[in-house]
Amino acid sequence: MDESLSSSCHKMTDETFILLRDFIYEQSGIYFGDNKKGQLEARLGLRLRANNLADYDKYYYLLKYDPNAARELRSLFDSVTTNETSFFRSPPQIQAFQDKVMPEVISRKEKQSEKQIRLWSAGCSTGEEPYTMGIVLRQVLNDKGTSWDVKIVASDISEKALRSAKAAVYSDYSLRSVPPEIKREFFLSEGNAYRIIEEVRNLVDLQYLNLNDTRRIQIMKGFDVIFCRNVLIYFDDEAKKRFVSQLYDCLNHGGYLFIGHSESLHNISRAFKLVHFPGALGYKKE
Amino acid sequence: MKDHVLDRIRNIDDLPTLPSVALEVLSLAHQSDVTIQSIAESIHRDPPLAAKVLRMANSVFYRRGDRKVDTLHHAIIFLGLAEIINITTSLSVFSALKSRKTQEVSVRESFWDHSVATGLIARHIDKKLGMRTMGREFVAGLLHDIGKIILDQYFHQEFMAAYNMSIEKDRPMYETEMEMCGTNHMEVGYFIAQKWNLPPYLADVVLWHHQPSQASSREMAALISMANLLAKAAQLSCGDRMSFVLADQEAWKVLKERGLPVDELDIERITFEMESIGDQVKSYISTVMEPSDKEQDNG
């Protein structure tokens, strides 16, 4: 009986969806909108099977009341965070970065006769994010690009991911959201794969970095924009507060922090100004 | 020429009018001795409107529980007089302003999407803040931008120029409208609201939704002002797509001054919740607008 249940496709009721969604938001700051019910169902379905549970209600009770809840929570987080990454991921955020944030940063710097831009991709994985930042920056700076001193620090805790980022060769799938004209301008085709052009690759400085290493983070200074997307989920509340306050210190005045598209800093930090962009949120240090 | 757009609107003799029943219901609403019977009778005098009110009362937006409401009388008992007046007003305005001519490029679709989204978001925030505006916030959200529809209808070219300029230059619509039309959607909307004898709170919101501290119904204007911004953030905008800091807005300060717990709002969460509002917007619009509405207009 149990076997047939666990191998069948489980359905999540609306009530249970709301319980689980609120629980996950409370625990992780990641929000599953009404349109993401199917996604949550699919991902938690794996956890249901792993725990041999008959339905999502029982899974909710496990998370809420079981002595082993803390351990299950880790597995839950792993299953709700997609480890996949791609170029131009979460397009409204990239659009905000391109249309609003970079022009604002550049015009402020021009007024101060400063020509240096520092960006940081914290948790850069295999490099899609920092190279996306590089491509966008090239486009925003356009022909005046060469006169600016630009560096994108890209850090990760995985040596393997960093090696892959260094190779800078990507599959079609990684490039699925890249507009054709950008593909032509910024990538070299190599058989079935694409290599990012040198000009963009040279903007990116890959570094091994453990974001838990508070002393190392302390020396990261002077950034105009930090992308730290879908990373905070790996910290507990206290560590999250400490780390986010460090990120605040890493930013220049007028700088921005972007976290994951449906991640929230509510209850974590009030230091930033929450900025609404069309379809995206950013956190500004004034 | 552009300086006289508002004057010219004042002199247009075929401006849209509200159905007489809607005006009657609105004026009944102000009377102290209004009865369920008198409102029901009044709405019944316009059978298509009565049918639509019933349909709205049974839609997901208003329906409470499983019980189907099958007479207006019941609808008024279940939903209360205030909601019935709101529904009647919304439906009447929709039918008065529905698309008249098919223009090559039109903002109408995004206009209605934005208006309904603003109403729904206002309702959502109203609940979170415990403002108890009794459904008036939804109508106010729905109608705050009516001036845009009038500008689009009678000064299409100038209005489209203002619309495109606001997007390209990342500037507020009311500024680019002023440049292109010599007036803005708040002034034009206020003129229409008065002409239609809309309740003062609605006229107030129409005029002051960008400067809520000037309004007499300040709380309502501030609520709509905030909902208006959040609708834009949810990418349901009719015009500019500017970024903003909610806590720095006039609306925020007004609500805070009035003792409403804005600082306790989880704005991130509200923003995420509103991202999936598009489906609700579409469903509301399809409930209000029958396919026949569009066909009638071509005649």
Q: Give contacts of A35 with chain B, Cβ < 8 Å.
A: 275-276, 279
Please name which of B118, B102, B67 lies closest in space to residue B233, comparing C-alpha atoms.
Answer: B118
pTM of the predicted model as reported, rounded to 2 decimal places: 0.90
Cβ contact, residue pair A100, B269, below 8 Å = no
Q: How far is CA B184 from CA B7, B162, B199, B244, in A?
A: 12, 10, 21, 21
Rounded-to-integer distance, Cα B32 and Cα B28, Å: 8
Q: Does residue B162 sit at the A interface (CB-CB below 8 Å)?
A: no
Q: Are residues B207 and B247 in the same domain?
A: yes
Please list the alpha-helical segments (H only) found in chain A: 2-7, 14-28, 37-50, 56-65, 69-80, 91-96, 102-111, 128-141, 159-167, 180-186, 198-201, 214-218, 237-250
Q: DSSP states of B229-288 as a string?
A: HHHHHTT--SS----EEGGGSHHHHHHHHTT--GGG--HHHHHHHHHTHHHHHHHHHHHH
Other beta carbons within 10 angstroms of residue A263's beta carbon come to 24
Mutation choice for A interface testing from B110, B240, B243, B245 by most A CBs within 10 A: B243
Which of A35, A276, A278 is opposite residue B246, by nearest beta carbon? A276
Q: What does each C-alpha distance from A73 to A65, A67, A157, A192 come to in angstroms?
A: 12, 11, 22, 39
**Min CA distance, B198 vs chain A (Å)?**
32
Question: 3-class SS at A239?
Answer: helix
* Same domain membership, residue B107 and residue B56: no
Domain range spanning residue B146?
A: 100-299
Same domain for B226 and B276, yes or no, is yes
A13: tokens are 């009721």
Q: How many domains does chain B have?
A: 2
B93 and B171 share one domain: no
Write out the two tokens for B286.
């399809």
Hey, what are B88's tokens? 């009647």
CB A56 within 8 A of CB A16: yes
Residues on chain A touching B283 (C-beta within 8 angstroms)? none
Query: Which residue among B235, B273, B276 places its CB closest to the CB of A279?
Result: B235
Domains of chain A: 2-80 (1.10.155.10), 91-284 (3.40.50.150)
Residue of chain B whose alpha carbon sits nearest to that of A25: B269
Interface ipTM = 0.90
Per-residue pLDDT of chain B (299 residues; tens, 9 = 90+): 455 788 888 888 888 888 888 888 888 877 778 888 889 999 999 998 899 899 888 888 787 777 788 899 989 988 888 888 888 988 888 888 876 555 556 788 899 999 999 999 999 999 999 998 888 899 999 999 999 999 998 999 999 999 999 999 999 999 999 999 999 999 999 999 999 888 899 999 999 999 999 999 999 999 999 999 999 999 999 999 999 999 999 999 999 999 999 999 999 999 999 998 998 999 888 888 765 554 444 43
Rg of chain B over all Cα atoms, to the nearest angstrom: 19
Interface test with chain A among B268, B280, B283, by most A beta carbons within 10 Å? B268
CB contact at 8 A, A141 and A106: yes
Residue B293 lies in a domain: yes
> How far apart (Å, rounded) are the C-alpha atoms in residues A139 and B186?
38
Instruction: For residue B65, tell me if it sits in a domain.
Output: yes
CATH number at residue B221: 1.10.3210.10
Residues of A in contact with B233 (CB under 8 A): 276-279
Q: Sort out which chain A residues have CB atoms less than 8 A from B271's CB and list them.
A: 276, 281
**Gap from B264 CA to chain A (nearest CA, Å):** 10
Q: Which one of A265, A274, A276 makes the best mutation probe of the B interface by having the most chain B beta carbons within 10 Å?
A: A276
Give the type of residue at A108: R
Q: B158 and B265: one domain?
A: yes
3 state SS of B13: coil
